Chain A
Amino acid sequence: MNDKKNRTRSLLVSLLGVCVLGVVLLLVDSFGGMDSYIRGIFMQCCFAVIMATSLNLVMGYLGQIALGHAGFMAVGAYTSALVTKAIGLGIKAGTIAPISNVSQFFIGMLCGALVAALFGLLVGIPALRLRGDYLAIITLGFGEIIRVVIQNLPFAGGKGLANGQAGQALIGIMKMNNIYIIFAVTVVSVAIMLAFVRSKFGRAIIAIREDDIAASSAGLNVTYYKVLTFTVSAFFAGIAGAIYAHRGLGTLQYSDFTFLKSTDYVIMVVLGGMGSMTGSVITAVLLSVLPEMLRAFAQYRMLLYSVILVIMMIFRPIGLFGNYEFSLYHLLLKWFRKKPIEAEQSAAKGGA
């Protein structure tokens, strides 16, 4: 079918685009443009992109307000850090056969993502039965609970429940700042989420957002799709957490995952456009890079964000990109004035 051909081509073109980005990265790197400062910002962009896109699944596509995304990130960060630390210790003690840093990181990352997903499932099952505002409050509460629990877990560097000494950070975490690997993880994560959205799953959750009673009357198991999406979203927040934990500082603090962190990602999603992965990626990068460039104004950051949000809500409530998705393939076709293989045209949004 033509639709399939177009999509396959589009996929190939996108792959090519990603490769080009990778080569650019390589060039910048090999000409010495990647000092540790730039590297740090790059890593920050990567986990912010994963956080924003995964939150967009819940907020943009499913249409539920979730205010505790940093909580899932924390679960992923601490789990992965503890796992890589354990592996590192095991290797040192000779109980585990030595493996490369990269494999250690991947094992840690996968564990972090799975545990975060498990938490997503546990929070999602009761919370998603409720409507709108309740979910916002429950997720907000969850985020705070996670942070406070970590603060008090001795093995996570917390002060422990019994002794009153000041909370400490989890230290001695392995470094994984190979930008190519982090870049690849980010690209694959976003690609998986896009594939999810562009399948029966994405269709179902958008329908649920539009009208959940109609969705169940059309045969959808609404609770199942809601919980699944929430779990997938938490899974990727866990991956972002793993990148964060191993970004090179070697430490994790519970105060890294406050409610304000969650708000940051909500802002990215809302600004970029709920229901646009393109929008989430771009605002995530912008809002990670800009504050670094405007260090002098750091204390006005939240103020600035709120002003921008208010202006946005007045003049463009759907966000920068609405639900538009960038497609390199279609852009190229446009440049060369070619038309996509038929079918696609009638399938392209008509009637507007």
Chain B
Amino acid sequence: MAESILRASNLGISFGGLRALHAFNIDIREGELVGLIGPNGAGKTTVFNLFTGVYKSTEGAFYLHDKLMSGKKTHEIVAAGIARTFQNIRLFKKMTVMENVLIAFTKDIRYGLPGSLLRTAGFWREETAIREKAMDLLSVFNLQDKAGWGAGNLPYGQQRKLEIARALATNAKMLLLDEPAAGMNPTETAELLACINTIRRKFNITILLIEHDMSLVMNICERIVVIDYGEIIAQGLPEEISHDPKVIAAYLGE
């Protein structure tokens, strides 16, 4: 079995009296594609917010490659190799498609204030290099012709793709996708599926995916974790999950 990449032990968080997540345990192996599902308000996005340091956990801890990540700031976690997308797309709408990707390279740029003020050779070398890298990445998503567009002007489906491209540009090893197919039409969803398969192959990346569209989840996920009211109620292979009485009850309501 492959090595563990992302592991949570007894992770949890409470907002005042509300226990949004409790005793969350997961062990994701390198290269896996794991689905995280559950009814509305179950705590799925909260899991992502914890894994990216947007929220600080009130119980438990999580590890990337067995290195403790809980308590770290978002940008430190990103530097360690976890990147995400958002349920409600969060692009830099007034910036260009290209710039949206360039932002994710910022942490690797070595020139500092002097370099940028004096426009040194190093400055130009790096600026040129990241533009080329960004172009390569955009072409994986078939966005290369829109590099100069304002990100907010892209059609919905392409905005979702751009967000994934930006996450990949951070050089992540672990990718968290929050309902990537939400609001997409069937063609766009099919395209997205193909896209996810491509990036898995190309970037050797591990994915944890939140999704409401059951057919999509059953289709591509190798393993599924189901949560309800902030607690794991089932996990296993797609067929097992689809027949689990607890899951059926949670989805059909009581």
Contact A219 B170, beta carbon cutoff 8 Å: yes
Contact A216 B74, beta carbon cutoff 8 Å: yes
Contact B78 A207, beta carbon cutoff 8 Å: no
Q: Which of these binds chain B: A25-33, A69-77, A159-167, A344-352? A: A344-352
Name A200's contact: one of B52, B106, B148, B169 (CB within 8 Å). Answer: B106
Name B93's contact: one of A192, A201, A210, A347 (CB within 8 Å). Answer: A210
Q: How large is the interface on A (under 10, 10 to 19, 20 to 34, 35 or more residues)?
A: 20 to 34
Q: Is B119 close to A, CB under 8 A?
A: yes
Contact B75 A221, beta carbon cutoff 8 Å: yes
Q: How many residues of B contact A (CB 8 A)?
A: 45
Name the residue of chain A whose CB is nearest to the CB of B86. Answer: A214
Q: How far is the CB of B102 from chain A (nearest CB, A)?
A: 6
Contacts of B150 in A (CB 8 A): 349-352
**A194-228 contact mask (Cβ, 8 Å, vs B): 1 or 0:** 01100111011011001101111111111000000
Q: Is B247 close to A, CB under 8 A?
A: no
Contact A201 B116, beta carbon cutoff 8 Å: yes
Contacts of B123 in A (CB 8 A): 199
**A327-352 contact mask (Cβ, 8 Å, vs B): 1 or 0:** 00000000000000000001111111
Contact B103 A204, beta carbon cutoff 8 Å: yes
Q: Is B229 close to A, CB under 8 A?
A: no
**A47-77 contact mask (Cβ, 8 Å, vs B): 1 or 0:** 0000000000000000000000000000000
Q: How far is the CB of A32 from chain B (nearest CB, A)?
A: 38
Contact A217 B74, beta carbon cutoff 8 Å: yes
Q: How far is the CB of A142 from chain B (nearest CB, A)?
A: 24
Q: How far is the CB of B197 from chain A (nearest CB, A)?
A: 24
Name A201's contact: one of B86, B94, B113 (CB within 8 Å). Answer: B113
The B145-188 residues at the A interface (CB cut-off 8 A) are 146-150, 153-154, 166-167, 169-170
Contacts of A11 in B (CB 8 A): 119
Q: Is B63 close to A, CB under 8 A?
A: no
Contacts of B91 in A (CB 8 A): 211, 214
Q: How far is the CB of A54 from chain B (nearest CB, A)?
A: 15
**B79-96 contact mask (Cβ, 8 Å, vs A): 1 or 0:** 100011010001111111
Contact A220 B107, beta carbon cutoff 8 Å: yes
Q: With contacts A210-B93, A210-B94, A219-B106 known, is A203 near B99, CB below 8 A?
A: yes
Contact A204 B106, beta carbon cutoff 8 Å: yes
Contact B170 A210, beta carbon cutoff 8 Å: no
Q: Is B98 close to A, CB under 8 A?
A: yes
Contact B148 A350, beta carbon cutoff 8 Å: yes
Q: Is A4 close to B, CB under 8 A?
A: yes
Q: Is A293 close to B, CB under 8 A?
A: no
Contacts of A347 in B (CB 8 A): 96, 98, 147-148
Q: Is A1 close to B, CB under 8 A?
A: yes
Contacts of B93 in A (CB 8 A): 210
Contacts of A214 in B (CB 8 A): 86, 90-92
| Given A3-B131, A214-B90: 10 more A-B contacts, CB < 8 Å | A200-B111, A214-B92, A215-B103, A218-B103, A218-B170, A346-B147, A350-B149, A350-B150, A351-B146, A352-B153
Rank and list the top 7 A-B pairs by shortest CB-CB distance, nearest first. Answer: A351-B149, A199-B116, A350-B148, A214-B90, A216-B74, A210-B92, A219-B78
